[in-house]
Amino acid sequence: MAKKNRRGRPGQGTPRQGSPEPGAARKGTPAHGAAGNISPAAGATGRAAAGKAPAGDAAPGRHGRAPAQGASGAGGGKLPSAGKRAKPLRESFIRVWAPTLVAAIFISTFNVQAFEIPSGSMEKTLLIGDHLLVDRIRFAPPPHWLPGVLPYRPVRHGDIIVFMTPVRSEKGVHLVKRVIGLPGDRIRLVNGVVYRNGRSLREPYALRQPVGCNATLPNPALQNWPDGGPLGYTTERWAATEGQYIHDGQVVVPPGHYFVMGDNRLCSFDSRYWGFVPQANIIGRPELVYWSYRSKASQYGLPGHGNIAASVESWPSVLWHLPTRTRWERTFHIVR
State which of 18-27, 36-45, 64-73, 128-137 shows the largest mean pLDDT. 128-137
Reported as a single tens digit per residue, the pLDDT across 276-322 is 999 999 999 999 999 999 988 777 654 434 444 445 457 788 888 88
In terms of pLDDT, which residue wins out, 228 or 145? 228
Confidence of residue 21 (pLDDT cuts 50, 70, 90): very low
pLDDT at 319: 85
Domain that holds residue 292: 16-28+105-182+256-334
Reported as a single tens digit per residue, the pLDDT across 229-283 is 778 889 999 999 999 999 999 999 999 999 999 999 989 999 999 999 999 999 9
For 269-313, the DSSP string reads --HHHH-PEEGGGEEEEEEEEEEEB---GGGGGSTTBTBHHHHHH
Q: Dihedral sign for Cα 330, 157, 113, 295, please.
A: negative
Confidence of residue 151 (pLDDT cuts 50, 70, 90): low
Task: State if pTM tops 0.95.
Answer: no
pLDDT at 83: 56
Within a domain: residue 139? yes
* Continuous segment of H or E residues that includes residue 151: none
Amino acid found at 304: G
Phi and psi angles of residue 316, each rounded to the nearest 5 degrees, phi first: -55, -40
- The DSSP output letter for 211 is -
pLDDT at 71: 43
Query: Any residues with CB less than 8 A from the CB of 273 and at least 6 apart, and which?
Result: 10, 231, 233, 234, 235, 238
Query: Any residues with CB less than 8 A from the CB of 279 and at least 6 apart, and which?
Result: 155, 256, 257, 258
- Give the residue ranges of DSSP H helices in the chain: 89-106, 220-223, 236-241, 271-274, 308-320, 322-325
Within a domain: residue 127? yes
Within a domain: residue 38? no
Within a domain: residue 297? yes
Reported as a single tens digit per residue, the pLDDT across 45-85 is 343 333 343 444 444 444 444 444 444 444 445 555 555 56
CATH of the domain at 120: 2.10.109.10
In terms of pLDDT, which residue wins out, 127 or 75? 127
pLDDT at 336: 85
How many CB atoms are located within 10 Å of the residue 219 CB? 16
Would you give the distance in Å from CA 333 to the centre of its chain? Answer: 15
Q: How far apart are CA 247 and CA 187, in angstroms?
A: 10
Within a domain: residue 138? yes
Confidence of residue 29 (pLDDT cuts 50, 70, 90): very low
Confidence of residue 139 (pLDDT cuts 50, 70, 90): confident
Within a domain: residue 84? no
Residue 16 pairs in a beta bridge with 116
Count of structural domains, the chain: 1
Q: Which residues are catalytic?
A: 121, 177
Reported as a single tens digit per residue, the pLDDT across 192-239 is 999 999 999 999 999 988 887 876 566 788 889 999 877 888 999 999
- Give the residue ranges of DSSP H helices in 77-133: 89-106
Within a domain: residue 202? no
Phi and psi angles of residue 313, each rounded to the nearest 5 degrees, phi first: -65, -35
Instruction: Evaluate if residue 162 carries a pLDDT over 60.
Output: yes
* Mean model confidence pLDDT for the chain: 73
Which of 106, 108, 100 lies closest to 35 in space, CA to CA?
Answer: 100
Beta carbons of 284 and 161 less than 8 angstroms apart: yes
Within a domain: residue 277? yes
